[in-house]
Amino acid sequence: MVIDLRDLADVSVDQASKTVWVGGGATVGATLKMLAPHGLVVGFGDSGDVGVGGIVTGGGVGYLSRLHGVTVDSVLAAEVVLADGRVVIASPQNEPDLFWAIRGGGGNFGVLTRIQFQAQELPAFSGGLLVLPGTAEAITAFTAAAQAAPDALSAIAMVMPAPPAPFIPEAMRDQLIIFALMAYAGPDETAGAALAPFRALGPILDTVKPGPFLDLYEGAGGEPPGLPETRTFFVDRISKDDARTIAGFLTESDSTMRMVQIRVLGGAVNRVPADATAYAHRDAQIMVFLANFYSDQADRPQRIKWVEDLMSALRQDNEGVYVNFLGDEGAARTRAAYPGRTWDRLRKIKRQYDPHNVLRRNQNIPPAE
């Protein structure tokens, strides 16, 4: 059974308190459009088509995470329909264990029908696209620059073969590029200095300029080139050897579409205690996401091997995984999404709110025995 929340899409802004109640079926793009006239934002993910409720239940990593934390760090309360049909408000004062669990614990504890966020002012913003040659040296330098950047700057770098797009020079077609989405949530007069280390890498294309935050969400999405095999994990750094490994795997694959996405975390994400929310990856420095697409089922084993082998080659000490990017990879990987005591606490809360595991068609957290 699928519960469709698309009609629960109301967005109600309180200008005085800078808070907003959002229906669980509202999309990120629709919510940000309602906030824009008030000069407010909430740090969601990087796609306007994604539902707000789903982002919250997984954590929420996006363009403003280094400045304001992951999405769940802005959640003040939520209306939750429990597995037994009861409707409760979860907040720090009311149902505090449930409130803790829904902020990153996946869809295991109830259906979020309304969520209240603390919004933030965003008086100035610069954003856009940088495209750079995808050499190992550029991959390493770009990642290091993103780690050293001020918290107001976030970058999502996708290393991939250059598509046949009009803005890509003919000579670069099918060569590796870094397709980087840049976001600077600061004054125009300081944007140049923040972006200078990236521009020093010699971009092929640079569309980064002052403009509305919403512009980053325009034109996102589109039809994928087949079905993806994906893996996600955390690392502390991207060394030159790591960058060479990335470039080698991307070059050797024969799929029509493959990519390695690198998201530098840090900043406000890491200043929150690990036990503050069910999203507990507060010491993670870089999130890596691998994708390799196929249209013929006969090619699937090869794509699985590619993502598994590349993940094994790049993995460092952090065994964690971001649940919102996790595929159907088995119970051990779901367990890795909730490190340390987080897993045990979630199982106890699951026993309290869904003892029969009604909500189990997910990255499942079974109730404690």
> What would the pLDDT profile of 301-335 be if each residue is shown by its tens digit?
999 999 999 999 999 988 899 999 999 999 999 99
Q: What percent of the chain has pLDDT over 70?
A: 99
Q: Please check the confidence at residue 172 and state whether its pLDDT lies above 90.
A: no
Residues 195 and 184: beta-carbon distance below 8 Å = yes
CA dihedral 344, 350, 351, 353 (to 10 degrees): 150
Distance between CA atoms of 337 and 98, rounded to whole angstroms?
Answer: 18
Three-state SS for 180-241 is EEEEECCCHHHHHHHHHHHHCCCCCEECCEECCHHHHHCCCCCCCCCEEEEEEEEECCCCHH
CB 226 within 8 A of CB 293: yes
The two tokens of residue 5 are: 């929340």
Place 255 in a pLDDT band, splitting at 50, 70 and 90.
Answer: very high
> What pLDDT shows up at residue 175?
93
pLDDT per residue as tens digits for the range 14-68 = 999 999 999 999 999 999 999 999 999 999 999 999 999 999 999 999 999 999 9
Which pLDDT band, with edges at 50, 70 and 90, does 290 fall under? very high
Following DSSP, what letter does each residue of 306-357 receive, concatenated? Answer: HHHHHHHHH--S-----GGG--S--HHHHHHTSTTTHHHHHHHHHHHH-TT-
Bridge-based pairing of strands 120-121 and 126-133 is unpaired
Q: Work out the mean pLDDT of the chain and round it to a whole number.
A: 96
CA dist 31 and 42 (Å) reads 9
pTM (predicted TM-score)? 0.95
Please state, in angstroms and as integers, the Cα–Cα distance from residue 208 to each residue in 154, 181, 202, 219, 325, following that order.
13, 9, 14, 15, 27
Chain centre distance of CA 143: 17
What's the pLDDT score for residue 156? 97
- Asked whether the beta carbons of 102 and 302 are under 8 A apart, the reply is no
SS3 80: strand
Structure confidence at residue 337 (pLDDT): 97
Q: What is the largest CA-CA distance in the chain?
A: 61
| Domain architecture of the chain: domains with CATH | 11-121 (3.30.465.10), 126-325 (3.40.462.20)
Rounded distance between C-alpha atoms, residue 76 and residue 130, angstroms? 35
d(CA 320, CA 261): 17
Whether the per-residue pLDDT at 223 is higher than 80: the answer is: no
Judged by phi (left if over 0) then psi (alpha if -120 to 50, else beta), residue 28 lies in alpha
**Residue range 72-95: mean pLDDT, rounded:** 98
The whole-angstrom separation of Cα 53 and Cα 44 is 11
**What is the rounded CA–CA span in Å between residue 182 and residue 189?**
16
Closest CA relative to residue 293, chosen from 263, 334, 250, 322: 250
pLDDT at 233: 97
Q: Confidence band (pLDDT; 50, 70, 90) for 118?
A: very high
- Report pLDDT for 220: 56
Amino acid at residue number 322: Y
